[in-house]
Amino acid sequence: MNALEPVAHSVDVQSPEERYVNRELSWLSFNRRVLAEAENERYPLLERLRFLSISASNLDEFTMIRIAGLEGQASRGIETTAINGLSPRQQLDAIREGLLELEDRQQLALETLRGLLADEGIVIAKVEQLDRSEITWLEDYFTTDILPLITPQAIDPSHPFPFVANLGMGLIFRLKRGKRKGDLVEMVLIPSGVPRFVRVPGPLAVYVTIEQLITRFAKQLFPGFKILGDGLFRVLRDSDIEVEEEAEDLVRFFRTAIQRRRRGRTVLLELDEDCDPAAEALLREQFDVDAAMIVKTDGMLGLRHLEAIFAESRTDLKFAPFDPRYPERILAHDGDCFSAIREKDIIIHHPYENFEVVVDFLHQAAADPAVVSIKQTLYRAGDQSPVIAALIDAAQAGKAVTAVVELKARFDEERNIHWANELERAGVQVIYGFTEWKTHAKVSLVVRREDEGYRTYCHFGTGNYHPVNARIYTDLSYFTANPALGRDAAKLFNFVTGYVEPAKLECIAISPIDLREKLYELIDCEIENSRAGKPAGIWLKLNSITNQAMIDKLYEASSAGVQIHMVVRGICSLRAGVPGLSENIHVKSIIGRFLEHGRIWAFANGHELPSRKAQVFITSADAMSRNLDRRVEVLVPITNKTVHDQVLGQVMLANILDTEQSWALQPDGQYLRIHRGESGFNCHEYFMSNPSLSGRGAALKSHDVPHLSLGSGKA
């Protein structure tokens, strides 16, 4: 099937149910595509296991945030409908069906991979499959390494049911001792800091889960008792944090909120299929969870932990190693970032080009006596952050350093509080931004004293300042010394740090001020061009699109004849290829070795795409209400000729041409994997195998970097 020829689907285009795809159901569809990579026979086995782990981790977060939110609405009687007209309760019913289907597929994928990995000497074992010597070793390991860490807790009137933390796992045992009347119930919580898998010494890599060991050797825990039954369980809790507008101290608020999250309302209770009936009844009663969100699994609970087995040093079962290139433009200037940027704007395409260049930009700024000021946004920075280290070095060197640290970055709140404290101790001016909005823009601004006066150097990114993620996520880093962009970036920081709303911006657009309106204006121009008989087209690349008004604007453009090609990795509430609604909209999703994360908008501007006269922008924002209305985001125009060609004619076009990792969205909201054909094109392999794109206009002209074209679909 050709992705550019969607299957016809007749609908009532005014019906919300037919006009839009539910956000939550679209997310489940996305996670099915992730899971499909665990089933992808073209991938190395350990990579397939990693995709299974990612799918399980994704589903956990979806449950803790999205399902928890809907359950909260339903319990409070809130009947606000979703974009497609479903109430919270109706969404929960539909989600449960999709969730169960996903969990069943995950277990089937695990069983398939168990067999294939065992053939390669990596065994995810069940204790009963092991020989006597292996069981003896495990028993000794249990005695010396596990037994001292676990604590059995009786459950009776004098020992109330213990608290189980979010993502916590535990075992319930039903015991009998001598002639004592009645059964005794004991709980053993599995410590969160203990590795989930134990590797048995030997020629094969044999892994056993810790819960199997506790069950197998439970008699050491309960000497003199007869074990009548047992059951494994896992708990997921509401993990969202709602910021109170009247919060006077954000740091104190989040420290308290993080503690509350660990004790949030139970959203999902997972049980193993063979759970003792009495233990199951107790768990159902104590966790007080909706019966619809109790899931029994005939397999392994907590598949997210399979990531630990991926660490096995079997390079033959993983993707071939890839070392990102260092941008050649910087090397040509002997590593002097400022000299290279001053000569000409540069675009860096991660992970194909090394994120170290961003770190080096900041380290050079910290050490350069000519640099007087650094301003930096920080949303997610990671555990060991060289970006934080560079800012600390700069402050200690006497430079004026300002860091906008976003405390509301979900699941990174605690880490960001830690970094904020470290920065403040070093003399960095730390700002937490707005109470009601997240600062999600990725901007770094360096002011340098030069012979001609002060010059501003900027970095605008589509991804976080996170070196680890930059090896996994595809993102764009744009370096420029354009004075107008420097002035706009300064106004952006003044807006976040001092609430000084910019009166006039020369180049960029900022949400929630004018980013949405800027995109509307650009789409309207394409509509006018189409109606005037001029070429009209929009290419865009996003992680998600759910905002109803933006979707309706794209529907309007499609109805006016504008040809729209969208690469949307995750959630897409827009329906594509529907006659009378979106017949000129084509949507695909790319799921592959790297996680697509860069965000690009391109507008034909009266010419056929890809054209050097097209208007091209990179952005930190997705087309979601939160990005357009409740976050500080930035939309940056790309006007430098070389950078424009690279972003539009290489990065964007390669994504549109990809066939080997792509799924096409059908009018009914379902996705079909695009047929690879004999001349399949893989955009990830293309960028891994070709020379650096950063600033090499000459390489494009000389075909050192193979040209791409819409017609051929090949490099």
Q: Which residues are catalytic?
A: 440
Vertex 669 angle, CA 666 and 672, to 5°: 45
Angle at which helix 515-531 crosses helix 548-559, to 10 degrees, equals: 10
**Tokens 């604007």, residue?**
553
Q: Residue 480 corresponds to which tokens in the numbers above?
A: 């420029």
Of 235, 234, 231, nearest to 173 (Cα)? Answer: 231
Say if residues 416 and 407 touch (Cβ distance below 8 Å): yes
Residue 253 exposure: Cα atoms within 13 Å on the Cβ side: 14
CA gap 538, 6 in Å, rounded? 18
Sheet holding 294-297, edge to edge: 152-154, 184-189, 169-176, 226-237, 266-272, 294-297
The answer for residues whose C-beta is within 8 angstroms of residue 235's C-beta and 6 or more apart is 164, 165, 166, 167, 168, 169, 266, 268, 269, 270, 287
Q: Which of 178, 259, 265, 274 is nearest to 224 (CA)?
A: 178
Contacts of residue 431, defined as CB under 8 A and 6 or more positions apart, other chains included, come to 402, 403, 404, 405, 496, 497
Q: Tell me 607's DSSP state.
A: S
Half-sphere exposure of 344 (CA within 13 A, CB side): 17
Q: Are 114 and 120 in contact (CB under 8 A)?
A: no
Q: Which residues have C-beta within 8 Å of that of residue 185, sequence separation ≥ 6?
A: 154, 155, 156, 172, 173, 174, 175, 278, 279, 282
Asked if 419 and 357 touch (Cβ cutoff 8 Å), the reply is: no
Angstrom distance (rounded) from CA 580 to CA 34: 31
| Distance linking the first and last C-alpha atoms of the chain | 21
Question: Which residues sit opposite 169 in a β-bridge?
Answer: 234
Q: What is the 3-state secondary structure (H, E, C) of 58-120?
A: HHHHHHHHHHHHHHHHHHCCCCCCCCCCCCHHHHHHHHHHHHHHHHHHHHHHHHHHHHHHHHC
Neighbours of 155 (CB within 10 A): 17
Task: Give the Cβ contact number of residue 661 at 10 Å.
Answer: 26
What is the radius of gyration, based on Cα positions, of the chain?
27
Q: Where are the beta strands (DSSP E) in 258-314?
A: 266-272, 294-297
Locate tokens 């002097």: which residue? 336
Residue entry with tokens 């294939």: 116
Q: How many CA atoms lie within 13 A of 266 on its CB side?
A: 23
CA separation for the pair 332, 64 (Å, rounded):
48
